[in-house]
Amino acid sequence: MTPNITEQMESTGFAQVIVVIEPGAAAAAAGIAADVAMPPIRTVAAELERCFIRAEHGQDAALSRQNAAAVGLALDAPTPPKVRAYEHLGIILGTVDSTGLAALRSDRRVREVTGAPQLRLIRPVAARSATLAGTPTWGIERLEIPRLWDAGLQGQGVLIGHLDTGVDSHHPAFSGGAIAHFAEFDRLGNPVPGARPHDTGRHGTHTAGTLVGRPVDGTAFGCAPEAQLASAIVIEGGNVVARILAGMDWIVGLRARVLSMSLGLPGFHPDFLPVTRILRARGVLPVFAVGNEGPGSSRSPGNYPETLSVGAMNVSDEVADFSSSQTFARLEDPLVPDLVAPGVDVFSSVPGAGFMEMSGSSMATPHVAGLAALLFQAVPTATVDEVESAIFGSCKLVPGMPAERANRGIPNAPAALSLLRGLAMKKAA
Strands (DSSP E) found in 116-254: 120-121, 126-129, 159-164, 179-184, 228-233
Contact 214, 155 (CB under 8 A): no
Residue 170 known to be catalytic:
no
Taking alpha carbons only, the member of 52, 56, 58 closest to residue 82 is 52
Classified as helix, coil or strand, 91 is: strand
Quote the radius of gyration of the chain (alpha carbons, Å). 21
Burial 312-321 (b: 16+ CB within 10 A, else e): bbbeebbbbe
Annotated active-site residue in 164, 186, 199, 271 = 164
8 Å CB contact between 338 and 304? no
- Residue 35 forms beta bridges with which residues? none
φ, ψ of residue 258 in degrees (nearest 5): -135, 145
DSSP state of 222: -
- Is residue 203 annotated as a catalytic residue, yes or no? yes
Instruction: Count other C-beta atoms under 10 Å from residue 396's C-beta.
Output: 13
Active site residue 298: no
**How many angstroms separate the Cα of 274 from the Cα of each of 73, 177, 334?**
38, 33, 18
Residue by residue, DSSP assigns 162-184 as EEESB--TTSGGGTTTTEEEEEE
| φ and ψ of 72, to 5 deg | 80, 25
Single out the catalytic residue among 162, 171, 203, 269: 203
Residues with catalytic annotation?
164, 203, 362
